[in-house]
Amino acid sequence: QVQPVESGGGLVQAGGSLRLSCVFSARTFSGYTWGWFRQARGKEREFVGVIGWSGGRTYYADAVKGRFTISRDNDKNTVYLQMNSLRPEDTAVYYCAAGGYFSNTYYHTRPIDYDYWGQGTQVTVSS
């Protein structure tokens, strides 16, 4: 089974930036809505943001709005999460997920909305 693969995590100081990438080697990549989630130690997985399959519309959680940006490159089967002005509370394992195949809405914010998940990449923000 094809699985998304994240990369780009690491350790960064507060105020710094990271860009996460998620590659999905499937011909169906362009038809999926892509979401980013994160899970801090001891906490539930939470929604970060989403990008629709059509038109690239995006929606973000309030905690990251204005700091994080999701984009996608259908030619490269890759979705990105650009994270700026990082804070210690952004520390978590970040997951990309594919769902809502040719969905009529890009508003997919629940983990149950997604069919394929990456293995996660650790982001640690030091104060």
**Cβ atoms of 83 and 15 closer than 8 Å:** no
- Pairwise pLDDT comparison (37 vs 29), residue with the higher score: 37
Instruction: Tell me the Cα Rg of the chain.
Output: 13
Interval 55-76: pLDDT, tens? 789 999 999 999 999 999 999 9
What is the model's pLDDT at position 48?
A: 98
Q: Quick one: average pLDDT of 3-23?
A: 97
pLDDT of 27 strictly over 90: no
Interval 92-123: pLDDT, tens? 999 999 998 888 888 899 999 999 999 999 99
Average pLDDT across the chain, whole number: 94
Place of tokens 């769902």: 99
Nearest residue to 53 via CA among 2, 114, 3: 114
Sign for the CA dihedral angle at 55, 100, 79, 83 comes to positive
